[in-house]
Amino acid sequence: MTDSPLHELIIADDDAGIRDMLARAFAKDFRVSAAKDGAEAIALLDRGRPAAVLVDEMMPGATGTQVLEHAKTLYPDVPRLLMTASNDTERAMGAINRGEIHRFYSKPLKVIEVRRAVLDLVERAHSEEALRTELRALRVLKETSLARGFITRVVLLGGSAERGDRVEAAARTRNFAVTRVVAGADMPAALMAQAADVVVLLRDDSIDVRALALLAHSVDEATAVVIVDGEPDVSHAVEALEVGAVDYIAAPYPDEATLARRLERAAARPRSLRDMRRLTFDLIVANRELAMARKRAEQEHLKLLNAMIRALEARDSYTAGHTDRVAGISVRCGQTLGLDVLRQENLRMGALLHDIGKIGVRDDVLLKPARLSAAEFEVIKTHTTIGASLLREIEQFQCIVPIVRGHHEKLDGSGYPDRLAGEAISLEVRIVSASDVLDALTSTRPYRRGSAPEEAFHIIDDVIGSHLDGAVVGALKQLHKEGRLTDLLQTDGDKTDGPAPYRF
Ligand SMILES: [Fe+2]
Ligand SMILES: [Fe+2]
């Protein structure tokens, strides 16, 4: 990112170690301004609009929530992130639900996750801002277009007073607005001054028919040119055709009613073209407004989603980060397998919420720091159906219900809860299942140590075809080989003793 004021990141924490760590993590992405307390953070905010604000809750001077409230008042669209002590998630959840903050992270921080969230939020804020600017410009254009109004404008250039009077009288019977520019006046300037529906050239030697017709069309290609001649002349009629005139009228002149009808006919095309333009503006504006509303709704869903995931993580620290990692792995796998953007987005949401049903699993089973008994495992299995029924209530999450319900199904039909097999398991479900297993194998849990990725793939190889999809596993291996999973896989576990067995 460039070194512009828009790309400033404000970080506030009274712990110098955390300030330094974050400043280093974001050094490549932003110009980082660090504050050591709440008052300093507020002073930095008053100095100008940053790209994002990331603050600690417990600080002298002002709390993180107070700093972010101030940020919201000054710059409602700037992403606001809060860091809290791990025992203070309730307050942060409240703040997220009231729309005061966009994300919160419990300490100790996983810097990679925080960085990804900040970059993601800043990118979203920028694209929303671009959309708003575009909308403003469109509204101005539309108003300009409307300001031209519904009156047909006729401009008469040159010619004798008698011929001009005749055309003007006919135009007035139709309530057209008529502007007359007599010979000697600055005709090009008069043409430039307004977008006429019809330009009537009262032909004589004092006016340059070709130049004026060209100018009228270049001011607005919809403008119709009508040439009114003295005596009929074939070469003049040909010239009229050549310059794109829509009518050529010569003496003897038609009566007033006929003349008015011919002017009206000439004006019809520009008017309908302009109406079409107005409609197009309306359509584009409506489209953009819809996109804005959709973006806003999407933001609300994301907030809800984030709050639900954090609620689960606050209870079960062992799944903390798991859903974010599975989402990251799944989306990259989906990209490798050629899924379109919409399916990638569903994949991301489905992966983020795949274990959400664990909210409904009792503490003594969910938090048991040892391997589960068969009966307890039956209880854990209900997280698939609980998750599906939780999300079924929310319209926007309908499309991810199959992922949440099906992420423990196996290709040979021995999975749960529906014992689906083969083709009945969608590609999205296969991707999330494989990413889930890969992350589970490489993370350290209370009852097992994490494996190194190579070891994990070795274990996974044994269940290709029976449990996991070979093509999906192939894509994951390719991503790993290219180093594109390094930032996602947890590799900080103690692996010196080798992995303990994994329960699929
Ligand atoms: Fe699960
Ligand atoms: Fe999982």
Domains and CATH numbers, the chain: 1-121 (3.40.50.2300), 153-272 (3.40.50.2300), 289-504 (1.10.3210.10)
Mention every residue, 6+ apart, whose C-beta is less than 8 A from residue 37.
12, 14, 59, 60, 61, 62
**Ligand 1 center to 95 CA (angstroms):** 28
Alpha helices in 316-450 (DSSP H): 322-336, 341-352, 363-366, 374-381, 383-392, 401-406, 427-442
Among the bound ligands, name the one nearest to the CA of residue 382.
1
Q: How far is the CA of 384 from the centre of ligand 2 (A)?
A: 10
For ligand 1, the distance from its centroid to the CA atom of residue 441, given in whole angstroms, is 13
CA of 86 to the centre of ligand 2 (A): 22
How far away, in angstroms, is 465 Cα from ligand 2 center? 20
For residue 355, the CA-to-ligand 2 centroid distance in Å is 5
State residue 269's pLDDT score.
Answer: 81
CA of 454 to the centre of ligand 1 (A): 22
Which ligand does the CA of 377 lie closest to?
A: 1
Question: What separation in Å is there between the alpha carbon of 365 and the centre of ligand 1?
Answer: 14
Q: Are 407 and 356 in contact (CB under 8 A)?
A: no
Query: Please, which pLDDT band fits residue 289 given cuts at 50, 70 and 90?
Result: confident
Per the omega criterion (within 30 degrees of 0), is the bond before 252 cis? yes
pLDDT tens digits, one per residue of 76-127: 989 999 988 766 666 766 777 666 788 888 778 888 888 988 998 898 888 8
Tens-place pLDDT, residues 123-151: 888 888 887 887 787 777 666 665 555 67
pLDDT digits (tens, 9 = 90+) for 390-433: 888 777 788 899 999 999 999 999 999 999 999 999 999 999 99
Considering the chain, what percentage of its residues have pLDDT values greater than 90? 45
Distance 296 CA to ligand 2 centre (A): 29
23-32 long-range contacts, Cβ below 8 Å, gap at least 24? Answer: 25/111, 25/114, 25/115, 26/115, 26/118, 29/1, 29/115, 29/118, 29/119, 30/1, 31/3, 31/7, 32/8
- 39/13 Cα distance (integer angstroms): 11
Cα 408 to averaged position of ligand 1 atoms, centre (Å): 6
- For residue 468, the model assigns a pLDDT of 94
Top pLDDT among 272 and 438 is at 438
User: Which residues lie at CB < 5 A from ion ligand 1?
Assistant: 355
Contact 247, 268 (CB under 8 A): no
Mean pLDDT of 306-315: 76
Closest CA to 359 of 380, 377, 332: 380
The environment of the single-atom ion ligand 2, i.e. residues with CB closer than 5 A, is 355, 436
Indicate which ligand has the atom closest to the C-alpha of 351. 2
Taking the centre of ligand 1 as the mean of its atom positions, its distance from the CA of residue 416, in whole angstroms, is: 10
CA distance linking residue 307 with residue 91, whole number of Å: 12
Give CA–CA dist 368/391, Å, rounded: 26
Nearest ligand, CA of residue 385? 1
Compute, in angstroms, the gap from residue 354 CA to the centroid of ligand 1.
Answer: 6
Which of 365, 335, 359 lies closest to 472 in space, CA to CA? 335
* Separation of CA 322 and ligand 2 centre (Å): 7
pLDDT of amino acid 172: 94
Average pLDDT over residues 238-252: 92
Evaluate if residue 498 carries a pLDDT over 50.
no
User: Which ligand sits nearest to residue 357's alpha carbon?
Assistant: 1
Distance CA 182, CA 204 (A): 12
How far, in Å, from the CA of 435 to the mean position of ligand 1? Answer: 11
Q: Which residue has the tokens 């539309």?
A: 142
**Gap from CA of 295 to ligand 2 centroid (Å):** 28
Ligand 2 mean position to 443 CA, how many Å? Answer: 11
Tell me how far the alpha carbon of residue 10 is from its chain's centroid. 24
Distance CA 414, CA 433 (A): 14
- Coil, helix or strand for 226? strand
Helices 256-315 and 161-172: angle between axes, nearest 10 degrees: 50
Q: Which ligand is nearest to the CA of 440?
A: 2
Going from the Cα of 60 to the center of ligand 1, the distance in angstroms, rounded, reads: 41
User: Cα(233)–Cα(253) distance, rounded to whole angstroms?
Assistant: 14
Ligand of minimum distance to the alpha carbon of 352:
2
Q: Which ligand is nearest to the CA of 358?
A: 1
